[in-house]
Chain A
Amino acid sequence: MLEYVAIALMIVVSTFVALSAIGMGELLGPKKKSKAKDVPYESGMLPYGEGTRRIPVRFYLIAVLFILFDIEVIFFLPWAVVFRQLRIFGLIEMAVFIGILLVGYAYAWKKGALEWE
């Protein structure tokens, strides 16, 4: 477990730095709030409508394709570590795995899913 202390320490320090960066202004700065100061663009254009906008479905498709290839890549790591022990058999099974996914890749390419219309 001791090798993870460094990671835990890094998380603690980075959390502290981030929180102090946000908190310092709140703690030390003067606070005079008014309605004009609370608008998103002070002295800028007046806001209209909702702050949250619906994003187009294209982002979803790109995200799904990214996750699927991300999972594919995850499998490469344990495979690469035992590649020498598996010999040619390991190469064949990974070729089958990639081959099946290449069908999906070709389909995505052909359908224009990788293009940003």
Chain B
Amino acid sequence: MTIDLLLFLTLALVAVATALGMVTSKNTVYSALFLVLNFATVAVFYILLGAPFIAMSQITVYAGAIMVLFLFVIMLLGTERLNSANILPWQRPLAIILAVILTVEAGYLLIFKSNPTAMVNAPDASINTIGSLQSLGMALFTDYLLPFEATSILLLVAMVGAIILSKQDKNEKGGAK
């Protein structure tokens, strides 16, 4: 148990450090790479929580595919280097206020409302094998059937939106260019 705790604390430190590095980095490509490291750390957290399938999904979908998308967007916009004139003036105080509110809220819940006896009942967290994938599948395809089917609608909307935003109609093309 102590090794798990030590591992968690080390990784938590790495996660926080990479998140800070992502936010403060001036070069947006470096920010993206910090985010990759952060995603990888979060994947290890999932393994520690007994969810290897979620960890694998985290690596393949987030650290793999979504980071490629982020890098494409960075290179698409040509914003590899931010100059300080581009930093939006009124967003910063607003962001600080919102961050303080969120921290106070989280602290309040953690100190006054937390109930350690009512732990979340993870499905078979002790079985760190194929069994956890089985219980995940059963939960997903029976109890959480509607969210699963709603996911397909969400993916469809994202697909149509991306095509409409980035694809010109063939008859419009001549006029636009």
Contacts and interface: CB of A to CB of B under 8 A. Distances in A.
Given A82-B138, A93-B141, A68 B72 contact: no
Interface in B20-74: 47-48, 53, 57, 60-61, 65-66, 68-69, 72-73
A59 B77 CA distance: 12
B166 A60 contact: yes
Contacts of B61: 67, 70-71, 74
B68 A107 contact: no
Contact of A59 (B76, B138, B151, B156): B76
A104 B156 CA distance: 5
B149 A64 contact: no
B148 A63 contact: no
A113 B163 contact: yes
A64 to B, nearest CB: 4
A89 to B, nearest CB: 8
Interface string B71-94: 011011110100000000000000
Interface in A7-64: 52-61, 63-64
A61 B165 CA distance: 9
A93 B170 CA distance: 36
Interface residues of B, number: 45
B141 A64 contact: no
A113 B61 CA distance: 21
Contacts of B148: 75, 93, 97
Contacts of B160: 104, 107
Interface residues of A, number: 45
B95 interface: no
Contact of A81 (B66, B128, B133, B145): B133
A3 B170 CA distance: 54
Interface of B: 3-4, 47-48, 53, 57, 60-61, 65-66, 68-69, 72-73, 75-78, 80, 128, 130, 133-134, 136-138, 140-142, 145, 148-149, 151-153, 155-156, 158-160, 162-163, 166-167, 170
5 contacts: A63-B68, A63-B72, A68-B158, A85-B138, A97-B152
Given A65-B162, A93-B145, 19 more contacts: A1-B128, A4-B47, A61-B162, A64-B158, A65-B159, A68-B162, A71-B151, A72-B152, A74-B57, A78-B141, A79-B137, A79-B140, A81-B130, A82-B138, A85-B138, A100-B149, A100-B153, A108-B159, A113-B167
